[in-house]
Amino acid sequence: MSNLRRYNPNGRSIFITTVTYKRQPILIDNADLLLSALNEALNKDQAKLLAWVIMTDHLHLLLDTRSADISATMHRFKLSFASRYRKRYNIYKGRIWQLRFWDHIIRDEKDYNRHLDYIHYNPVKHGLVKAPKLFPHSSIHHYSNYYQQDWGVTETPQIEGKFGE
């Protein structure tokens, strides 16, 4: 196993993408388990969830890391979700997550807004809904003052960059 070193975000916001093993489409049907495991891990490490979207086989997160070790937080989250998922379906072996995760430290307000838009437009990009606000497994509903009612419907947002998918 390689020893991947991550840059310490020093309390800055961080964007994360993590994917299920072999892209198994299990996350939306188990969104309750996922959010519970995520909140437990974040609370333990005193990190804050700023934005999120749960897709069928991956999720995107925007976190305020504060002083958290993001690798430890993600490890704790993945183990917790896997345990809850296995218990729900009486599964005793096999992988749930791909190894590692993709991260990006947010550089400035423009970068933050770009990643926030990417998170909330992702269900439309993947053809799950016609409008971002129709997707129930997203934090877009907490941003009603940020987005216009028809955002992502009347025209496609121009979001450039790499997002770990």
Q: Which pTM was predicted?
A: 0.90
74: pLDDT confidence band, cut at 50, 70 and 90?
Answer: very high
Residue 54's nearest CA partner among 128, 137, 119, 127 is 137
Q: How far apart are CA 91 and CA 83, in angstroms?
A: 9
Q: Is the pLDDT of residue 160 over 90?
A: no
Per residue in 19-58, pLDDT tens?
Answer: 999 999 999 999 999 999 999 999 998 899 999 999 999 9
Q: Which domains does the chain have, with CATH numbers?
A: 13-142 (3.30.70.1290)
pLDDT in tens, 108-142: 999 999 999 999 999 999 999 999 999 999 999 99
Neighbouring CB atoms inside 10 A of 27's CB total 22
